[in-house]
Amino acid sequence: MKKAIVDLYNFSYNRKISYRPAIDELFQVIEQYTEQKELASLFNHFNSAYGLPSEVTKQKIKLYIAKSYIYKKSSFDKKLGLASLPKSMLSYCALFYALIFIKNNNKVNQYKLIIDDICSSVELDRFENLIELVGKENTLIVLRNIDIQDKYEGYNFYTKKFFRDFNKIDLLKAIFKEFFFGFWIVLKVSLRTRVNLFPISLQIIHGYLSFKSFFETNEAEYTIQERHYNTDSIKNYLFKKSGGVSSTTIQKNIVEADLMFAYMDIDVLFSLGSSGFQRFLDFGGRINKIQPVGSLFMEHYWFKKPIKLDQKFDILFLGINVTNGVDRIDKYDGWADDYYSSFKWLVKIKNYNPKLRIAIKHHASAGIEDPIELSILKNSGIIISDKNLNSYQLSFSSKCVITYGSTMGYELSAHGITSLFFDPGYRCAFLPEKEIDNLDLLRITSYEKFKESINQIFSSKDFDDITLENKLELCLESSHTSNNIFNYFQDKNTN
């Protein structure tokens, strides 16, 4: 009997059940889709035309599909639908557009380290200590759609733009191969599997042309990037093929139960601590080595200038970026009830003990103010802090920190600041599953437990904190994170 085509585009997981089984089901559907024999001709094309192994191409396609799922709508993005085929097919003309911006530079530059995917000056500043250790002259910074070169004297920059600076011969070969062969293979596979594969196929071609040209003229031993969820199997493959030793990334977030964190493709993950990354592996990640180093963010924003503020709080709530990311964060029915319980519990504890100074600090990149949150907090006496203030300074100036899903909860817990995680009903997707984690003492599943913990913290009683071993699992001491990364590079070079 002929095996049925996986109906990927029309898949919708059940939002009424626990989020983890639902996301596991979504992961399995993506796995099943990419294992279909109907995609074999597509993998073979990218192998024969560009020398990309099937597993490299498959990993790229899986990541693209995973990031196309909209949790709040419980459906895939419309761009995967066949109705978007005509527009996507026209986008292949970008290959002709790229002929205007072909690359003629044949000089080969040698570096120790390439820092990739820099999209703002604040991102680059976080790597300042590492750059000083490696040496400015030995480091290349790859910028994405920004112009900040004038602010940094002595730095080496490369500005990466879409469909620019391809090798002329490679581009002409790609145009020939695609319009005579590849285009029609993608069309056939898209129609057979009822999924529009033109956008991701063009991404694969672009990635091949862009990274091949880049690594042919910019050689390095290591690459590093901040966004671990933006690793790229094609970039990694071509970097290693060009002679690179290891591609690396830092852990900047709690690894959420979310396929945004799926299909990582990297040689070394510089993790916060010795645990908390199992979901990377559960969701198809290819990671050769996990090396705990601590938090690069905490090193930069706290240890570089550890100044406590005059404005002190008893309880500081660290928010997450809900207003800009609700389509992804809203994973199950009842999520809003769970999340907004955080603010209701803060109001209740304030009413219970009006003397408590309580503040809320949202992420600096948070969008517009949340009307539901404001309604809950109205006339409560709880302060909404300036989101542009230094979160670490505020935290170290507070008695206790609460969060629903901020990575700082991990970092602060490991550095002596009592931190609690709100998790009504054990459903917070930012935290490990019930009974398989090291956060039981810090996990607050009800207002009654919250009240009990606060009474304990603000009384003469000892609060049951986590052990040193648990702290190391969450996050290493982070005053020398850049040194830890640099020493790893040095050790690899001497072995």
* 435: Cβ contacts below 8 Å, ≥ 6 apart: none
pLDDT of residue 328 exceeding 90, the answer is no
The parent domain of residue 164 ranges over 1-294+480-495
306-320 exposure pattern, b = at least 16 Cβ within 10 A, e = fewer: eeeeeeebbbbbbbb
pLDDT value at residue 494: 59
- How many domains in the chain? 2
- Strand-pair partners of 265: 286
Long-range contacts of 274-282 (CB under 8 A, 24+ apart): 274/472, 274/473, 274/476, 275/438, 275/473, 275/474, 276/410, 276/432, 276/473, 276/474, 277/251, 278/432, 279/255, 280/255
Question: How far is the C-alpha of 211 from the C-alpha of 56, rounded, in Å?
Answer: 14
pLDDT value at residue 1: 41
**Residues 136, 48 share a domain:** yes
| Residue 274 contacts residue 469 (beta carbons within 8 Å) | no
| Residue 33 contacts residue 10 (beta carbons within 8 Å) | no
- Strand-pair partners of 250: 270
Question: How far is the C-alpha of 446 from the C-alpha of 451, rounded, in Å?
Answer: 9
**Residues 312, 187 share a domain:** no
**Residues 312, 261 share a domain:** no
Average pLDDT score, the chain:
92
pTM: 0.94
Q: Match 């000056």 to its residue by tokens.
A: 121
pLDDT value at residue 462: 62
Question: How far is the C-alpha of 357 from the C-alpha of 135, rounded, in Å?
Answer: 45
Q: How many CB atoms within 10 Å of residue 454?
A: 23
**What does 409-421 look like in DSSP terms, one character per residue?**
HHHHHTTT--EEE
Q: In this structure, what token pair is assigned to residue 240?
A: 């290693």
**Residues 284, 343 share a domain:** no
The CATH number linked to 439 is: 3.40.50.2000
**Residues 125, 157 share a domain:** yes
Question: How far is the C-alpha of 180 from the C-alpha of 158, rounded, in Å?
Answer: 33
Residue 101 per-residue DSSP state? G
- Of the candidate ranges 35-49, 94-108, 333-347, the one whose mean pLDDT is the lowest: 94-108
For 416-468, what is each residue's pLDDT tens digit?
A: 999 999 998 888 888 887 655 567 778 899 999 999 999 988 886 666 667 88
Question: How far is the C-alpha of 268 from the C-alpha of 129, rounded, in Å?
Answer: 19
Section 98-120 average pLDDT = 91
* 1: Cβ contacts below 8 Å, ≥ 6 apart: none
Q: How many CB atoms within 10 Å of residue 145?
A: 9
**Residues 305, 222 share a domain:** no
Residue 211: C-alpha distances to residues 233, 241, 271, 356, 391 (Å): 11, 11, 26, 55, 36
| Residue 230 contacts residue 117 (beta carbons within 8 Å) | yes
| Residue 30 contacts residue 66 (beta carbons within 8 Å) | yes
Question: How far is the C-alpha of 131 from the C-alpha of 434, rounded, in Å?
Answer: 40
**Residues 380, 272 share a domain:** no
**Residues 218, 89 share a domain:** yes
Residue 97: C-alpha distances to residues 60, 175, 311 (Å): 24, 11, 55
For 249-290, what is each residue's pLDDT tens digit?
A: 999 999 988 999 999 999 999 999 998 888 999 999 999 999
Task: Identify the helix (H) or strand (E) that includes residue 122.
Answer: helix 121-125
Query: What proportions of the chain, in percent to the nearest 5, are helix, strand and coil?
Result: 50, 15, 35
**Residues 61, 14 share a domain:** yes
Residue 103 per-residue DSSP state? B
Q: In this structure, what token pair is assigned to residue 233?
A: 């199997």
For 159-169, what is each residue's pLDDT tens digit?
A: 998 898 899 99
pLDDT value at residue 438: 62
Residues above pLDDT 90, as percent of the chain = 78
**Residues 369, 269 share a domain:** no
pLDDT of residue 385 exceeding 70, the answer is yes
| Residue 43 contacts residue 228 (beta carbons within 8 Å) | no
Q: In this structure, what token pair is assigned to residue 487?
A: 């020493």
Question: How far is the C-alpha of 120 from the C-alpha of 365, rounded, in Å?
Answer: 13
**Residues 311, 265 share a domain:** no
pLDDT of residue 297 exceeding 80, the answer is yes
Determine the 3-state secondary structure of 353 from DSSP.
Answer: coil
**Residues 317, 289 share a domain:** no
Q: How many CB atoms within 10 Å of residue 157?
A: 14
